[in-house]
A = this chain, B = another copy of it.
Amino acid sequence: MNFDIDKKELLKGLVLVQSIAGRKTTLPILTHVLMELEKDFLYLTGTDLETGVREGLPVNSRQEGKASVSAKKLYEIIRELPDETVHIEKKENHWVIIKCGKSTFNLAGLDPEEFPSLPSYKEENFSKIPSRVLMEMIEKSVFAASNEESRYHLNGIFFVQTKQAGKDVLRMVATDGHRLALVHREGYRIRGIEKGIILPKKGVLELKKILGEKGGNEQIEIYFDGTHGFLRIGKSLTILRLIDGEFPEYEQVIPKENDKRVRMEREKISACLRRISTMASDRVEGIKVSVKNNMLEGSTFNQDFGDAREEVEVVYEGAPLEIGFNGRYLIEALNVFDTSEIQMELKDEGSPAIMRPSSAEVSGVSSERNSSLVGLNDQLSIIMPMRI
């Protein structure tokens, strides 16, 4: 292995690979980055056995080959180099020599054959969707996934290909048992998710970082087999090991009889909730929401510090209702809507609330909603009530 590479290019690739490689230190080879030189490309691979990232970078190649060195150390070295050409060469005993300007680094390596091989993919299975679509769906759902390791089947996003009103739809759903986020996008098909698969939260957050790095205007090639997801943008491949579990029957959780509809300005209500949340007690984060006469009052009580309340104008003329929620759940759900108006649908103080964009309300087709999951909206959130 012997090649020259532009420092900035190499650093860009390493940033993405080393954050995966650094995770598990129990097995030394997993702290390494595999470097493979094939034709005029250097492929950097990092994996924690759950997520794998492989970045292809253009190089000036002299001799093909491969090597394995500490991802963290290589990253630290390359980051400090001047913006010049870096020469990298493999020596005996898996050592790697790095030269740039007047610097020389000898880096100890391991046998690259010991590096775990990533699952292989079939070229013909890939289909393309805009990476922006995938990014948006992740952003609008991942926050609701559980972090409790004991509930591993909730530690991810349920991703399913389905039909709605005769159209192909991609749907993502995440829930931690206290709240649920659902988002769908029309007009795309991905192979292997017809029955639904569970994307792991950690891997999804890594993927989000990579998608962010590449920019939203790329097409992403994507498919899933029974155990893994394969996602590729140009020469950047991410492989996610899927969570093997049953995702809950989320469709049954979505309330059908929430007839109290409160329309509100998203940013106004979000600012109100943030303010009164400062006085919610630290553990339960509970806030009380009261609606009547086109007014919503949020209030909190904290036995150590005091209490807070604030009124916001809304559109609501139904019967008065008081209901408790975790304030953070409401705020996080509001954060991922794009519309300036939100509709909150309530039933009673013991039933979950639905939140969705209120655009459908405006176009006068709200009667359809109860018969479908999301109606004409492409997104909803469900939040369980709590006793305050």
Contact = CB atoms under 8 A, between A and B. Distances in A.
Interface of A: 70, 73, 76-77, 80-82, 95, 101-108, 271-272, 274-276, 278-279, 304-312
A276 B100 CA distance: 12
Nearest to A312: B102
Contacts of A279: 73, 77, 105
B307 A80 contact: no
A5 B39 CA distance: 68
Contact of A104 (B73, B76, B103, B309): B309
26 contacts: A73-B278, A73-B305, A76-B278, A77-B279, A77-B308, A80-B271, A80-B278, A81-B275, A95-B306, A101-B310, A102-B272, A102-B310, A102-B312, A103-B275, A103-B276, A103-B308, A103-B310, A104-B308, A104-B309, A104-B310, A105-B306, A105-B308, A107-B306, A108-B304, A108-B305, A108-B306
Given A73-B278, A278-B73, A306 B80 contact: no
Given A73-B278, A103-B308, A106-B308, 5 more contacts: A81-B275, A82-B271, A104-B308, A104-B309, A108-B306
Copies in the complex: 2
Most chain-B Cβ atoms within 10 A of its Cβ — which of A70, A104, A311? A104
A225 to B, nearest CB: 37
Q: Closest 4 CB pairs between A and B?
A: A103-B310, A76-B278, A80-B275, A106-B306
Contacts of A76: 278
A77 B275 contact: yes
Contacts of A82: 271
Say what secondary structure dominates the interface of chain A.
mixed
Contacts of A271: 80, 82
Contacts of A274: 80
Contact of A70 (B80, B276, B305, B312): B305
A95 B305 CA distance: 10
Contacts of A272: 102-103
Contacts of A307: 105-106
A174 to B, nearest CB: 27
Given A77-B278, A107-B306, A305-B70, A311 B95 contact: no
Interface centre among A107, A275, A279, A310 (most CB of B within 10 A): A275
Nearest to A100: B275
Nearest to A79: B278
A33 to B, nearest CB: 13
A307 B305 CA distance: 57
Contact of A107 (B80, B101, B106, B305): B305
Nearest to A277: B80
Most buried by B among A103, A104, A108, A307: A103
A73 B306 CA distance: 10
A311 to B, nearest CB: 5
A310 B311 CA distance: 66
Q: Which of A105, A108, A310 lies at the interface centre, i.e. has the most chain B CB atoms within 10 A of its CB?
A: A105
A228 B133 CA distance: 61
A52 to B, nearest CB: 24
A108 B302 CA distance: 10
A274 B312 CA distance: 55
Contacts of A80: 271, 274-275, 278
A329 to B, nearest CB: 18
A279 to B, nearest CB: 6
Contacts of A102: 272, 310-312
A81 B272 CA distance: 9
Nearest to A275: B80
